[in-house]
Amino acid sequence: MSDDAELVARLRAGDEAAFVMLVDQFHAPMLRFASTFVPSRAIAEEVVQESWLGVVRGIGRFEGRSTLRTWLFSIVANCARRTGARERRQTPVDFDEERGVPEERFGRRGEWTSPPVPWADDAVDRIAATQVVASIRGCFDSLPAAQRQAVLLRDFEGLPSSEVCGVLGISEGNLRVLLHRGRARIRNQVELDVGRN
């Protein structure tokens, strides 16, 4: 947190180099996150530009109750919502349209009948790593927006669960559901792509 405090102090003092450093570090992750709310990259770019203006205007009000990174993602989420993205804030837990793992992989008592195979142990031997990355990226891009947002912030950006909930405006339980469904879909797709069941 001391690095954040020093950077915030430099930003408040109008240090242009500090702002350039902040943009270099966070522009791409902010763009990825904005893309989960809006239908095109062009709109996502607009959202991020508006977000940077919000950072410049609001740095004096940053209280340090969260990390600077979490604050940036919150600004992006708010800007994206204002641009008209139609994102629901909660996904019902009993929403049955998509299941993460096929039911036939479980026994009557909920135990695995065919446990997931640790494909990562021999993925390099089976296919090129770039194919695995392409599979993950393709599946990630096809996830519903709420799942993409949760997986991106928690797994790719490493935000703590409580901060992801704050950025997305959802409960811990809802986050767990979104992460489970998103991760399961990605894992299932990778298993299919590398020929494992």
Nearest to 191 by CA among 108, 97, 118: 118
Contact 63, 183 (CB under 8 A): no
Q: pLDDT class for 128, splitting at 50, 70, 90?
A: low
Nearest to 53 by CA among 29, 75, 82: 75
Q: How far apart are CA 158 and CA 156, in angstroms?
A: 6
**Is the full-model pTM beyond 0.95?**
no
Domain residue limits, the chain: 2-82, 106-193
Identify the architecture of domain 2-82 in CATH. Orthogonal Bundle (1.10)
Share of the chain above pLDDT 70, in %: 76
- Just give the CATH number of 106-193: 1.10.10.10
Q: How far apart are CA 69 and CA 75, in angstroms?
A: 10
Q: How far apart are CA 174 and CA 84, in angstroms?
A: 23
HSE toward the beta carbon, residue 8, CA cutoff 13 A: 19
Locus of tokens 């990355």: 133
Q: How far apart are CA 22 and CA 8, in angstroms?
A: 10
Share of the chain above pLDDT 90, in %: 46
Can you give the pLDDT at residue 190? Answer: 81
Q: pLDDT class for 134, splitting at 50, 70, 90?
A: confident
Select the more confidently predicted residue: 156 or 109.
156
Can you give the pLDDT at residue 86? Answer: 42
Contact 85, 37 (CB under 8 A): yes
